[in-house]
Every structure is written in structure tokens, then in C-alpha cells.
């Protein structure tokens, strides 16, 4: 027997209950599109943070979280506020790995559409303050130069186009380095509609395959493009 009912907690969320003949136990599953409670979001963020060593970034949550980053940002107003609500203030982490520091720089670069300034570390969308950069790189300019060196480094195996008939190599998702290069190449703008986070607050950019991965497309720069969340969703709907 299967059906829908309203829970008794007053949340207004619909849940699905499933009970099979001969089994008196009820199994609860979430209905697709049902609202997520704030406590559920925070609990899942804390779970992900614990699984990755206490460093909660948009990338780590995208890889390990149960919900979309956009859902979290809409609920709390920004990713930085969500991190704080979950109890993981930037100051609680003493030594960030370079990857987390670089990802935060890239987030700011994408948001402003230009090289970020040190003062912009103080507020969203930055989730890391100035101090960790000073401890690791001595100065903000040194941090930017280190990031540029990282972003410009060769990624031979991932960037080389495969020979005709060769088997697919590498992973489906582009690395942080490749993602930044594609975004910068496209001037941090959607190639379909031209929108940019710098002029459209709340807009999110995605690095998407031109020839879909499912259709044999490779994760190489020539087969990647920048799309905003709206155009990327529209593209998916059209497939």
C-alpha cells in the first residue's frame, strides 16, 4: 500500500509512506520537489564538513551533499551565511589546504568578473577571511600570484584531445584549474545569454560539456563552455 499524507509536525511537507502486505513497518521517502527543512539542511552540511575534515566549501558540498548548493543559498541568503549557521565560521579553521584557498579566490573572481581585491574577502561570497591567506602566502598579492601559477600550470593528460577511436580518459567533472580557465576564457559570462554574476546578483555559472559526456564528449577545454544556471537548465530540458 502506498500513499501521501501530511506529517504531524506542522511543517506542511508531503511525505510518502509505503507499507507492504505482511509488513507493518512504514518506510518514509521524500517526494521529489518537497521543501527541505532548515534543520535538515544544516544537519547535512555538518555531516559533509565532518566527512571532509571540517572544511565546508561549495565544491565539497556539491560532491557529498544531499541537496543543491542553490537550495542552501536561497534558504540562508548566501553560502557564507549558511556556513556560519552550520557552525563552521572561517576563523575556526587554522590551516586551510591550498585547494580551498584557491577555490575561494576563484569564487570571488567569478562573482566580480575580475581579479578580486583583498577587502572583498571580508564578505560574501567569500567564505575565508584575510588571515589564512596572510599565514599561508604572507600577502594577498602573493596569494594571487600563487593562484595564477596554479591556474596556468599544464594539465597535460586532461587537456590533450583523445585520438580518434581512443578510449575516454579522465573524469567527467573538470578540475578546479580547468574550470577557472574555461570561465576566464568566456569572460565569466554565459555563452548563451551573456549574463554574468557581476551584473546579475544571484546568478550562478556552470562549466558544461558542449558535446554531452553521455554522448561521448570529452572533458577538455575545447568541449567545455560557460552557461548560467537558467540556460544550463533550459539546455537539459531540451535534451
The pLDDT tens digits for 81-91 are: 888 788 765 44
Does some domain include residue 14?
Answer: yes
Going by pLDDT thresholds of 50, 70 and 90, the confidence category of residue 137 is very high
**pTM check: above 0.85:** no
| Higher pLDDT among residues 141 and 41, named by residue | 141
**pLDDT-above-90 percentage for the chain:** 27
Is 179 in the same domain as 228?
A: yes
Does some domain include residue 80?
Answer: yes
Is 112 in the same domain as 79?
A: no
Q: Hey, which residues does 5 pair with through a beta bridge? A: 15
Does some domain include residue 161?
Answer: no
DSSP assignment of 186-236 equals TTTS-TTT---TTTSTT--EEEEESS-GGGT--SSGGGEEEEEHHHHHHHH
Is 140 in the same domain as 189?
A: no
Does some domain include residue 133?
Answer: yes
Total count of domains within the chain: 4
Does some domain include residue 162?
Answer: no
Q: How many CB atoms lie under 10 A from the CB of residue 56?
A: 24
As a whole number, mean pLDDT of residues 145-164 equals: 67
Is 80 in the same domain as 47?
A: yes
Tens digit of each residue's pLDDT (9 = 90 or more) over 212-225: 988 889 999 999 99
Is 232 in the same domain as 180?
A: yes
Is 97 in the same domain as 62?
A: no
Is 183 in the same domain as 141?
A: no
Does some domain include residue 226?
Answer: yes
| Higher pLDDT among residues 82 and 136, named by residue | 136
Whether 23 shows a pLDDT value over 60: the answer reads no
Is 180 in the same domain as 217?
A: yes
- The rounded distance, in Å, linking the Cα atoms of 224 and 226 is 7
Does some domain include residue 166?
Answer: no
Does some domain include residue 225?
Answer: yes
Is 200 in the same domain as 233?
A: yes
Whether 32 shows a pLDDT value over 60: the answer reads no
- Range of the structural domain that residue 29 is part of: 1-35
Is 61 in the same domain as 106?
A: no
- CA 14 vs CA 6, 7, 35, 72, 229: distances in Å: 5, 7, 9, 20, 27
pLDDT recorded at residue 158: 40
The residue from 101, 121, 152 where one domain ends is 152
Is 148 in the same domain as 182?
A: no
pLDDT recorded at residue 187: 93
The answer to whether the beta carbons of residues 197 and 203 sit under 8 Å apart is: yes
Q: Is 16 exposed, middle or buried (0-12, 13-18, 19+ CB in 10 A)?
A: middle
Q: Is 17 helix (H, G, I), strand (E, B) or coil?
A: strand
Q: Where are the alpha helices (DSSP H) in 86-213?
A: 98-112, 130-137, 140-152, 156-159, 176-185
Amino acid at each position: 500500500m502506498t500513499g501521501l499524507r501530511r506529517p504531524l509536525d506542522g511543517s506542511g511537507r508531503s511525505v510518502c509512506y509505503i507499507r507492504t502486505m505482511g509488513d507493518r513497518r512504514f518506510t518514509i521517502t521524500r517526494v521529489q520537489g518537497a521543501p527541505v527543512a532548515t534543520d535538515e539542511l544544516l544537519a547535512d552540511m555538518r555531516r559533509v564538513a565532518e566527512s571532509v575534515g571540517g572544511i565546508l566549501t561549495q565544491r565539497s558540498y556539491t560532491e557529498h551533499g544531499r541537496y543543491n548548493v542553490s537550495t542552501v543559498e536561497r534558504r540562508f541568503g548566501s553560502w557564507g551565511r549558511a556556513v556560519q549557521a552550520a557552525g563552521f565560521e572561517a576563523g575556526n579553521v587554522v590551516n586551510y589546504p591550498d585547494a580551498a584557498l584557491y577555490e575561494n579566490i576563484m569564487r570571488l573572481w567569478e562573482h566580480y568578473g575580475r581579479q578580486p581585491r583583498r577587502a572583498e574577502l571580508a564578505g560574501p561570497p567569500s567564505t575565508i577571511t584575510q588571515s589564512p591567506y596572510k599565514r599561508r602566502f604572507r600577502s594577498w598579492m602573493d596569494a594571487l600570484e600563487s593562484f595564477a601559477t596554479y591556474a596556468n600550470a599544464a594539465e597535460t593528460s586532461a587537456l590533450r584531445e583523445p585520438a580518434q577511436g581512443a578510449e575516454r580518459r579522465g573524469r567527467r567533472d573538470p578540475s578546479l584549474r580547468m574550470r577557472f580557465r574555461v570561465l576566464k576564457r568566456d569572460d565569466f559570462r554565459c555563452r548563451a545569454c551573456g549574463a554574468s554574476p557581476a551584473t546579475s546578483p544571484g546568478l550562478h555559472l556552470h562549466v558544461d560539456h558542449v558535446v554531452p559526456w553521455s554522448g561521448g564528449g570529452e572533458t577538455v577545454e575545447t568541449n567545455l563552455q560557460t552557461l548560467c544556471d537558467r540556460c544550463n537548465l533550459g539546455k537539459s530540458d531540451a535534451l
